[in-house]
C-alpha cells in the first residue's frame, strides 16, 4: 500500500466525517434540548468543521473495517472522537493554556469569537461526543455503546488527555513549587496521555465496535500506542523544523515555552531513529491481520513522514 493510496482513503474519511459532523451540528434541537443557541452552535461548528486531517476518525474506520463493521457506525464513533479532539484544540489555544492566535490556518476560536464562547464551544463538543456514542446509530448493542463511552471517558479524561495536559503545563514550570516532569520517561508518560490516549482510543474503538476478542483488541491497542507516540514525536520535530505557513499554526513554541519534548531530551537525529522504530513496532503489532491491515501500516508511515 503506497502513501498515495492511503492519502486518498484519508481524504474520503475526512469528507465523510465533515458531512456527518455538519449533520450532528445542525440547527434543529433534538429530544430534550430546549434550543440550540446560535452563537454557541456557530462556535462549535467553527472549531470542528472545515479543517483538520481527520486522522483519528480514519483510524476508527480502518480499525473497525478489520472486523467488517459497517462504515456508518465507525463514522459515528469517529465523529465523537473528533469532537473531543477539536474541543481539546480550542481549549489548548486559550490564553490560559498555549495562548495561540492561529489554528488550522485560521484565527483560533477565542480570537474569532471571544474567550467565554471558545470555552463553551469546547464544553459543548466534549458533551456532544458522549451523546453521539450513546445513540443506536453508533451500535445497536447497548453493551458495545457503554464500552465505547467508558473507554472514551478513560482515554480523554483524568488519566488520559486532560491528565497529560496538566503534566505538560507542569513541565513548562507553570506551577511554582511543583515538581517539573523532565526525564525521558516523564516526557513519554505525559505525551502518551496528552496525545497518545486519543489515538489509542481510535484503534481500540474499532475493536470494540467489531466485538473483537481480547487478542485482537490487544493488537490494536499495541498499534495505537506506537502510532500515538510516533505522532507526538513527528509533531515535536515539525515544531522545530517546519514553518508556520505550511503547518497552519505557530512553530518554535515548544522550545520557547520550555516544553518537555522527546526532541528536547534526545535531539532531532535520535528522535528520528525512535520514530522509525515505532513505525516498525506499529506494523509488527498488526501481523496477525495480514494484508487486511496494510492501510493501517501505511498510516503509521504517514504519521512519521507527515509535513503538516
Ligand atoms: C486542553 C484538555 C486539553 C487538552 C489539550 C490536544 C492537546 C491536549 C493539545 C494540543 C497540543 C498539541 C500540538 C499536541 C500535539 C499533537 C496534536 C494533538 C496535534 C494536533 O493534531 P492533528 O495534527 O490536528 O491531528 P488536525 O488539525 O489535523 O486535527
**Per-position pLDDT tens, the chain of length 308:** 777 889 999 999 999 999 999 999 999 999 999 999 999 999 999 999 998 999 999 999 999 999 999 999 999 999 999 999 999 999 999 999 999 999 999 999 999 999 999 999 999 999 999 999 999 999 999 999 999 999 999 999 999 999 999 999 999 999 998 888 888 899 999 999 999 999 999 999 999 999 999 999 999 999 999 999 999 999 999 989 876 666 566 666 666 666 778 898 889 999 999 999 999 999 999 999 999 999 999 999 999 988 77
Q: Say how many Å lie between the CA of residue 168 and the centre of ligand 1.
A: 12
Q: Say how many Å lie between the CA of residue 215 and the centre of ligand 1.
A: 30
- Euclidean distance between CA atoms 234 and 305, whole angstroms: 8
Question: Are the C-beta atoms of residues 181 and 189 closer than 8 Å to each other?
Answer: yes
The answer, yes or no, to whether any atom of ligand 1 lies below 6 A from the CB of 165, is: yes
- Euclidean distance between CA atoms 296 and 286, whole angstroms: 8
Residue 103's DSSP bridge partners are 106
* pLDDT (0 to 100) of residue 264: 87
Nearest to 129 by CA among 186, 53, 44: 44
* pLDDT (0 to 100) of residue 244: 62
The answer, yes or no, to whether any atom of ligand 1 lies below 6 A from the CB of 100, is: no
Residue 107's DSSP bridge partners are 102
- Euclidean distance between CA atoms 270 and 274, whole angstroms: 6
Q: Say how many Å lie between the CA of residue 146 and the centre of ligand 1.
A: 26
Whose Cα sits closest to atom 27 in ligand 1?
Answer: 52
Nearest to 198 by CA among 156, 153, 154: 156
* pLDDT (0 to 100) of residue 241: 86
Dig out the grid coordinates for 1 from the structure.
500500500
Burial class of residue 214 in the structure, from the number of CB atoms within 10 Å of its CB (0-12 exposed, 13-18 middle, 19+ buried): exposed
Q: Distance of CA 258 to CAs 63, 144, 291, Å? A: 36, 42, 43
The answer, yes or no, to whether any atom of ligand 1 lies below 6 A from the CB of 161, is: yes
User: Hunting for cell 512553530 — which residue is that?
Assistant: 251
Q: How many residues does the chain have?
A: 308
* pLDDT (0 to 100) of residue 265: 87
Whose Cα sits closest to atom 24 in ligand 1?
Answer: 52
* pLDDT (0 to 100) of residue 245: 63
Q: Say how many Å lie between the CA of residue 281 and the centre of ligand 1.
A: 23
The answer, yes or no, to whether any atom of ligand 1 lies below 6 A from the CB of 122, is: no
Ligand 1 atom with least separation from CA of 104:
27
Ligand 1 atom with least separation from CA of 103:
27
**Cβ count within 10 A of residue 179:** 9
The answer, yes or no, to whether any atom of ligand 1 lies below 6 A from the CB of 92, is: yes
Nearest to 85 by CA among 116, 49, 126, 121: 126
- pTM, whole model, 2 decimals? 0.94
The full 3-state SS of the chain, as one line of letters, equals CCHHHHHHHHHHHHHHHHHHHHHHCCCCCCCCCCCCCHHHHHHHHHHHCCCCCCHHHHHHHHHHHCCCCCHHHHHHHHHHHHHHHHHHHHHHCCCCCCCCCEECCEECHHHHCCHHHHHHHHHHHHHHHHHHHCCCCCCCCHHHHHHHHHHHHHHHCCCCHHHHHHHHHHHCCCCCCCCCCCCHHHHHHHHHHHHHHHHHHHHHHHHHHCCCCHHHHHHHHHHHHHHHHHHHHHHHHHHHHCCHHHHCCCCCHHHHCCCCCHHHHHCHHHHHHHHHHHHHHHHHHCHHHHHHHHHHHHHHHHHHHCCC
Ligand 1 atom with least separation from CA of 55:
25
**Cβ count within 10 A of residue 116:** 10
Nearest to 157 by CA among 189, 116, 119, 198: 198
Amino acid at each position: 500500500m503506497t502513501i498515495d493510496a492511503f492519502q486518498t482513503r484519508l481524504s474520503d474519511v475526512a469528507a465523510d466525517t465533515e458531512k456527518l459532523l455538519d449533520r450532528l451540528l445542525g440547527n434543529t434541537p433534538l429530544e430534550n434540548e430546549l434550543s440550540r443557541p446560535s452563537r454557541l452552535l456557530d462556535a462549535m461548528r467553527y472549531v470542528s468543521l472545515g479543517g483538520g486531517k481527520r486522522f483519528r476518525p480514519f483510524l476508527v474506520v480502518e480499525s473497525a473495517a478489520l472486523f467488517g463493521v459497517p462504515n456508518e457506525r465507525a463514522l459515528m464513533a469517529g465523529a465523537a472522537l473528533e469532537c473531543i479532539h477539536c474541543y481539546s484544540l480550542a481549549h489548548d489555544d486559550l490564553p490560559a493554556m498555549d495562548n495561540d492566535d492561529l489554528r488550522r490556518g485560521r484565527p483560533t476560536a477565542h480570537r474569532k469569537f471571544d474567550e467565554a464562547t471558545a470555552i463553551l464551544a469546547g464544553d459543548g463538543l466534549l458533551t456532544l461526543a458522549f451523546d453521539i456514542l450513546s445513540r443506536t446509530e453508533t451500535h445497536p448493542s447497548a453493551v458495545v455503546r457503554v464500552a465505547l463511552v467508558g473507554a472514551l471517558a478513560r482515554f480523554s479524561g483524568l488519566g488520559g488527555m486532560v491528565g497529560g495536559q496538566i503534566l505538560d503545563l507542569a513541565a513548562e514550570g507553570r506551577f511554582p513549587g511543583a515538581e517539573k516532569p523532565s526525564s525521558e520517561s516523564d516526557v513519554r508518560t505525559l505525551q502518551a496521555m496528552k496525545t497518545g490516549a486519543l489515538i489509542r482510543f481510535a484503534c481500540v474503538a474499532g475493536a470494540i465496535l467489531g466485538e473483537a476478542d481480547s487478542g485482537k483488541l490487544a493488537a490494536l491497542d499495541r498499534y495505537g500506542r506506537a502510532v500515538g507516540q510516533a505522532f507526538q514525536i513527528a509533531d515535536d520535530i515539525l515544531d522545530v523544523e517546519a514553518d508556520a505557513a505550511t503547518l497552519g499554526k505557530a512553530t518554535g513554541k515548544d522550545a520557547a515555552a520550555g516544553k518537555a519534548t522527546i526532541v528536547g531530551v534526545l535531539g532531532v537525529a535520535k528522535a528520528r531513529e525512535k520514530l522509525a522504530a515505532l513505525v516498525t513496532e506499529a506494523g509488527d503489532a498488526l501481523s496477525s491481520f495480514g494484508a487486511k491491515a496494510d492501510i493501517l501500516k501505511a498510516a503509521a508511515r504517514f504519521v512519521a513522514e507527515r509535513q503538516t
